[in-house]
Amino acid sequence: MGLFSGLEEIGMGGLSNVKVFEDEKAKTEAAQKRRNEPVELKEADFIFDKTYTCPVCDREFKAKTVRTGKVKLVGSDSDLRPRYQFDTLKYDALTCPNCGYSVLTRYFNVNPTSGQLKLIRENVCKAFKGIKEPADIMTYDDALTRHKLSLLCAIVKRGKASEKAYTCLKMAWLLRGKAETLPKDTPNYEAVKKDLATQELEAITNAYEGFTEAFSKENFPMCGMDENTVTYLSAELARKIGKYDDALRLCARVITGKNVNDRLKEKARDMKDRIYEETGRKDG
């Protein structure tokens, strides 16, 4: 009959098999099992809305930002593009939704001069019609729009060659990331991938030209990198756009440099071997 027999007459029949006391051992084991199961984190779990004050219009705005130290680095490309658990590069440009001023996060705290403010207000702010805010995460298209605006602002304010070069490099990395994650069911998939590759090459070409100009006009560190790193990076960019003589010359500077770490020298040697393989040249 059971302890709760008769309760079905008042509608409690579905609960007649409940236990008075739970099995504490089973309960503890179940809890331990849940603790041991890996927690699958999504991109949105690493993102939060941070408040910034625009140096151009002095108004506050919120932008999606990666939680520092929470994302693991899993590798890098030959041109130093970092690879994390998800593409954090999408969050590297800030755009004020009020006036349109855009800049890479690296340069956000470098306030524009009075002359630059005038140029930005006259050429960017007056024409700006607003920007779509992303939902929970930044898409590649969201990120590319903000990076393009950052490049435009850098050009308009007559920024340093290194800033423009670094912005172009970041755009190239984003275009590569978009191509790598492009859904197979995208209409005209192959044509879209080809177009992204063409855009990436254009961005890389501009990055190389910008760093080449910066070498003769600016001091190091540059974009957070020392001279040896920028030399290696420029060599790899030159290789990617087919400027093999420039790439080999820059590689040699890295390989024979006195204060270059062994890891960077090894990467330069690998690049040198790759150039010989691609061009059919012989060492020496």
Q: Can you give the three-state secondary structure of the chain, one letter per residue?
A: CCCCCCHHHHCCHHHCCCCCCCCHHHHHHHHHHHHHCCCCCCHHHHEEEEEEECCCCCCEEEEEEECCCCCCEEEECCCCCEEECCCHHHHCEEECCCCCCEEEHHHCCCCCCHHHHHHHHHHHHCCCCCCCCCCCCCCHHHHHHHHHHHHHHHHHCCCCHHHHHHHHHHHHHHHHHHHHCCCCCCCCHHHHHHHHHHHHHHHHHHHHHHHHHHHHHCCCCECCECHHHHHHHHHHHHHHCCCHHHHHHHHHHHHHCCCCCHHHHHHHHHHHHHHHHHHCCCCC
* Cβ within 8 Å of residue 218, ≥6 positions away: 160, 161, 162
Q: Per-residue pLDDT averaged across 250-269, rounded? A: 96
pLDDT of residue 15: 62
Where does residue 126 fall: left (phi above 0), alpha (psi -120 to 50 degrees), or beta otherwise?
alpha
CB 58, CB 117: distance < 8 Å? no
Instruction: Please state whether 178 falls in left (phi above 0), alpha (psi between -120 and 50) or beta.
Output: alpha
For residue 222, what pLDDT is reported?
97
Higher-pLDDT residue of 132 and 207 is 207
Task: Say how far residue 52 (Cα) sits from the centre of its chain.
Answer: 19
pLDDT at 33: 66
Q: Is the pLDDT of residue 31 over 70?
A: no
Q: What's the pLDDT band for 105 if we cut at 50, 70, 90?
A: very high
Work out whether strand 47-53 and strand 60-66 pair parallel, antiparallel, or are unpaired.
antiparallel
Q: Is residue 69 very low, low, confident or very high in pLDDT (cuts 50, 70, 90)?
A: confident
**How many other C-beta atoms are found inside a 10 Å radius of the C-beta of residue 262?**
7
Average pLDDT over residues 136-157: 97
Residue 52: strand pairing partners: 61
- Delimit the domains of the chain by residue range: 44-180+197-221, 226-284
Asked whether residue 32 carries a pLDDT value surpassing 80, the answer given is no
* C-alpha dist (Å) from residue 23 to 19, 27, 29, 132, 181: 9, 6, 10, 54, 48
Residue 77 φ/ψ, nearest 5 degrees: -90, 175
CB 149 within 8 A of CB 100: yes
Query: Tens of pLDDT along 167-200?
Result: 999 999 999 999 999 999 999 999 999 999 999 9
